[in-house]
Amino acid sequence: MPAAGPARNTATLNRFHSAVNSGDPGTVSKAIDEFVAPDVLFDAPVPMGATGAEALKRVWEVLLRAFPDIHVVVEETITEGDKVVSRNTVTGTHRGEYRGLPPTGKTVTYSEIFIFRFTDGRITEVRGVVDVLAQLRQLGALPA
């Protein structure tokens, strides 16, 4: 029997991060279908022209195309009530177009913090802060 409440939510987020780290777009898409509500409120610095779970899928399509070896390391999580906060370090090698930049072959490392709200075991809200400035500097798109 799955753990109840906050422990279950943290376990779900860990399973989601495992899927993301698979590097397989199909696995990520299936994980979003399983763990994320279709009408999830997705508020992060990723203007994708979509909403809900479809926006999240598009973000991961773009990231996996640009950084096929992308890897999210969860540095710490804080769980309280219906929310899980995840502070992560992300690494990846720029092998595909990203934000208008052709592939550079450079490796990026950046930080992000996300707050996930859960309802009935599924992610219903995602709010995030991603250090896009660090990404773009490391890719040479902005001065260091």
What pLDDT does residue 144 have?
74
Task: Give start and end residues of each alpha helix (H) in 22-112.
Answer: 25-35, 52-66
Task: Give start and end residues of each alpha helix (H) in 21-109.
Answer: 25-35, 52-66
What confidence tens digit (pLDDT) does each residue in 34-89 have? 999 999 998 876 656 778 899 899 999 999 999 999 999 999 999 999 999 999 99
What pLDDT does residue 3 have?
53
143 in a structural domain = no
User: How far is the C-alpha of 58 from the C-alpha of 48, rounded, in Å?
Assistant: 7
Identify the domain containing residue 33 by its residue range: 5-138
For residues 126 and 143, the model is more confident at 126
What confidence tens digit (pLDDT) does each residue in 100-142 have? 999 999 999 999 999 999 999 999 999 999 999 999 999 999 8
What pLDDT does residue 1 have?
40
51 in a structural domain = yes
What pLDDT does residue 50 have?
77
CB 94 within 8 A of CB 106: yes
144 in a structural domain = no
What confidence tens digit (pLDDT) does each residue in 19-30 have? 999 999 999 999
Q: Considering its fold, how many domains does the chain have in total?
A: 1
What's 119's domain CATH number? 3.10.450.50
43 in a structural domain = yes
